[in-house]
Structure 1
Amino acid sequence: MDKVKVLIDTDIGDDIDDALALALALNSPELDIVGITTVYGKTDVRARLAAKILEIYGRDDIPVAIGSSKPLVNPEPKYFPRQALAVDKHFFPNIVEENAVDFILETVSKYRELTIIMIGPETNLAKALLMKPKIFNNIKIVMMAGYVSQPFPEYNVKCDPEATSIILSKNFPKILVGLDVTLKCSMNKNMVKEFRRSRHKGVKFLSKLIDIWMSYSNHFPILHDPLAIAVSFDRSIVELKPMYLEVELENPSNRGIIYLVSNREPNIDVSINVDVNRFMNMFRNRVLGKFIEYSH
């Protein structure tokens, strides 16, 4: 079976789920990861964290491109991605010189088929689409974004709603993996303990990131972004429903809310349900399963 060529666009370093998503992708033989791009504030720091995880898993052949720190309209965030404190200062040769937008354009042109998995604000792809819209006839999108069943502005969309709106306006195939399904997919205390007890260097590093994240969070990790990774190669793990979605851009109190528009030709397939047990078992078996020989 041919592998799915994927480019992963991430704001790794804030919520822990980006790092866990990258680990799932690296442990999924269905995927051929052709590049990582970083987005939304301190993107150089985020690139170093992504490169560190790739290095630990023996995949420093995968290029990492530094992306847009500032959204299209919203101000640039100033906070530091605290998980990046786990990364030392050494040189990562796979962090490329070209910026993420140029890297996306080059990668889209290079491959006949490409799936772009967006697990952060969608700024990089939106900028690429504005520059060369005609070359994007060979891509599919899986995006962790939105909360269709609730009038609530999900984080990735809220950070750059104009970017999300641009992507929704395009005709290429798109799958939305939003809070409607991801909130059902949470790690528990026992799984966190399994990370902490593993002797595998990759899992140990992830455990370190989990501990940093839990020092400023009040719940166990929710696997928003790993679910998007899983859907990129196995869409049967969710139930999809075609819908026409738009993003509220004008009303300040509702800005960033994704909402359904009735009686319009669908522009995206929306995840409305998820096989939680199947996904959680997949995640555990792939990220932890090979490395269940614990330290004592």
Structure 2
Amino acid sequence: MAVPENVVGTIKQSSPPKKVIIDTDPGIDDAMAIFFALKSPELDVIALTTIYGNVRTPTATVNALHLLEFAGREDIPVSEGFRTSLRGELKERIADFVHGADGLGNTYPTLSDRKPIDTFAPDYLIQKVNEFPGEITIVALGPLTNLAAAVECDPTFAKKVGQIIILGGAFQVNGNVNPAAEANIYGDPEAADIIFTCGADILVVGINITHQVYWTGKDLEDLGRSDSKFGKYLYAASHFYATYHREAYDIDAIYLHDPATMVAAVDPSLMTYATGAVRVQKDGICKGLTLFNNSNKVWHDPTDWCGIPPVKVAVTVDRERVASLLKERLTAP
């Protein structure tokens, strides 16, 4: 395929592990991403913050605490975030038909007795970014409400955060909520527009990428047969997820949305990126649409696109290497 304008090459990462906060709505593929992050020496996961999306926020918090306990990482704090969109609307859509009523494939595992910390997620994000300016990478796997609130509350947040890696958007492909919108952006379009235009170092992985990265039914069987407790756990949780993919997409495979995005934190060179401004349609028939201005054109008339800071949008992916890296780490004993 032709290489888009303004393609960015390999993005170099420092040798010490990245301090990572995962903003998450677990979610079966969130569980995959969290376990992968915990098994990746390139990352130092210092906290999880929770948000609605695949499940409602209280369930996301319970699931996050459970996943950390299962992984033997009770040292990692969990901070609960917004239960509604930024301006207080109730969440319109919870993806229980994708992830099950419990968010973990209707496996209903034994849950942790541990509680989240008292600090509200946006306040916690601000606290950590100020404690470690330039060092924190936030991997956002759900709607961007917590992050947008942090930007609005602290004008220095966008410049102090090291990087924000976002699962979201549908760039030049159809969405997965409707033809226009991807689920995370649709969950809070206003919050997404705030983040895309805030001036932080932002890397976006949309479903134009994650629909290329998948595990087949055989791959899932390999997880179940592995000596890894993580592989066996994810195999059991993925039955419901795989059924959804057969019914919705007519494929014997599952898309690896969240874990593929986490790979961008571990090894960004497995994708290539284009730079440009991204804006989000906030209402109407195209609510949640992410529009990417990847051109060098100088516009004659002033518009809402003028002066918008550029972000990096993933445009190609080494599908086989990403899927293999995920499988390798999640099946390792």
TM-score normalised by structure 1 residue count: 0.90
Q: Residues 155-166 of structure 1 correspond to what in structure 2 (within 5 A)?
A: 155-166=183-194
Structure 1 residue 204 displacement after superposition: 2.1
Structure 1 residue 182 displacement after superposition: 1.0
Match of 1:271 among 308, 314, 320: 314
Identity of aligned residues (%): 29
Task: Establish whether residue 60 from structure 1 lines up as the match of residue 80 from structure 2.
Answer: no
Seen in structure 2, the aligned counterparts of structure 1 residues 20 and 60 have a Cα distance that, compared at 3 Å, is same
2:225 is matched with which residue? Answer: 197
1:130 is matched with which residue? Answer: 152
Seen in structure 2, the aligned counterparts of structure 1 residues 274 and 266 have a Cα distance that, compared at 3 Å, is farther
Task: Establish whether residue 237 from structure 1 lines up as the match of residue 298 from structure 2.
Answer: no
Alpha-carbon displacement from aligned partner over 1:103-151 (angstroms, at most 9, x marks no partner): 1111111113111111111011011111112233221111011111135
Alpha-carbon displacement from aligned partner over 1:56-101 (angstroms, at most 9, x marks no partner): 22111111111112112442247564335523244125x2122211
Quick check: 131-140 or 253-262, which moved more? 131-140
Alpha-carbon displacement from aligned partner over 1:205-259 (angstroms, at most 9, x marks no partner): 2222112433544253211111111111321110111011111124x11111011
* Aligned residues of 2:93 and 2:187 also touching (Cα < 8 A): no
1:27 is matched with which residue? Answer: 39
Quick check: 259-268 or 200-209, which moved more? 259-268
Q: Which amino acid aligns with 1:144?
A: L
Q: Which amino acid aligns with 2:238?
A: I
2:10 is matched with which residue? Answer: none
Q: Which amino acid aligns with 2:165?
A: V
Q: Residues 111-260 of structure 1 correspond to what in structure 2 (within 5 A)?
A: 111-112=132-133, 113-139=135-161, 140-150=163-173, 152-218=180-246, 219=251, 220-250=253-283, 252-260=284-292
The unaligned stretches of length 5 or more in structure 1 are 292-296
Structure 1 residue 12 displacement after superposition: 1.0
TM-score normalised by structure 2 residue count: 0.80
Q: Which amino acid aligns with 2:19?
A: K
Match of 1:83 among 103, 111, 114: 103
Quick check: 98-107 or 216-225, which moved more? 216-225
Structure 1 residue 169 displacement after superposition: 1.1
Task: Establish whether residue 17 from structure 1 lines up as the match of residue 29 from structure 2.
Answer: yes
Q: Which amino acid aligns with 1:279?
A: V
* Aligned residues of 1:34 and 1:62 also touching (Cα < 8 A): yes
* Aligned residues of 1:7 and 1:115 also touching (Cα < 8 A): yes
2:302 is matched with which residue? Answer: none
Structure 1 residue 198 displacement after superposition: 2.8
Seen in structure 2, the aligned counterparts of structure 1 residues 78 and 222 have a Cα distance that, compared at 3 Å, is closer
Matched residue of 1:36: which SS? strand
Structure 1 residue 18 displacement after superposition: 1.0
Quick check: 83-92 or 253-262, which moved more? 83-92
Matched residue of 2:315: which SS? strand
Q: Which amino acid aligns with 1:75?
A: L
1:92 is matched with which residue? Answer: 114
Matched residue of 1:246: which SS? strand
1:294 is matched with which residue? Answer: none
Quick check: 199-208 or 229-238, which moved more? 199-208
CA RMSD of aligned residues (A): 1.9
Whole-angstrom CA distance in 2 between matches of 1:228 and 1:90? 26
Structure 1 residue 201 displacement after superposition: 2.5
Matched residue of 2:64: which SS? helix
* Aligned residues of 2:139 and 2:262 also touching (Cα < 8 A): yes
Seen in structure 2, the aligned counterparts of structure 1 residues 161 and 275 have a Cα distance that, compared at 3 Å, is same
